[in-house]
Structure 1
Amino acid sequence: MNVLIVDDNEAAADLLLELLSLQDHKARCTYSAKQALEAAAEETFDVALLDLTLPDLPGTEVARQLRALPHPPLLVAVTGFSARDAHGGEPGLFDHHLQKPIDFDALDRILAETSAKAAARG
């Protein structure tokens, strides 16, 4: 899986990058909405892990722009907010919600499910 990590907490993002790399996933960290959107313009990601409180744009706006891509990634809100509050009043914006601190078993299940669906599509 190719995973885009978007979090302004660089230490948390870098740790997540390291954990995903240890599991043989390709991952890229970005620390702002602008960096995330630039990365998504450069390459296709299977999954985007989006912090909702970024310094330059809300994560919900990043999600909207990623959804508009020709091949949008699976969108996972990663936040301290509840799942109900994470969607910014827009149900269906995110495919999944992970509350901080991230439950890595839940993240593994999301990645495995996404990988299985991608394999089934060919």
Structure 2
Amino acid sequence: MLRVAVDRDGGVTLDDVADATREIDRVLEESDVMGELPFTLEVTSRGVDRPLTLPRHWRRNEDRLVKITLVEGGEVTGRIVASTEESATLDVDGDTREVLYADVAKALVQIEFNRKKKQNDSEDA
């Protein structure tokens, strides 16, 4: 079993996973790195259920709702509007709040099934 997780700023689409799968399979078939034994290739994205632990995770999830548990206690839920190497800027009920990653005990993306689209979002996005 060979598992590969793909990740990039802006997120990963199903087409990205399919493209990565084809390319990895091509490289593996052209080499003997896996030997003569049969193998299973599994290509996936990081998934929304994994905590945001690195600055690139925050970048990849900009415009998503996140629930943060702070080191000193308390929680913050807001939409990521920007991120740097040290902190994220959130929209918390219309107010802007900067959260330092050093102050975050845990951060998880919240799944939104019925999120209303902004006027400039396309219908099929």
Q: TM-score range by the shorter chain?
A: under 0.3
TM-score when normalising by structure 1: 0.26
- Higher helix proportion, which one? 1
Computing the radius of gyration over CA atoms, which structure comes out larger, 1 or 2?
2
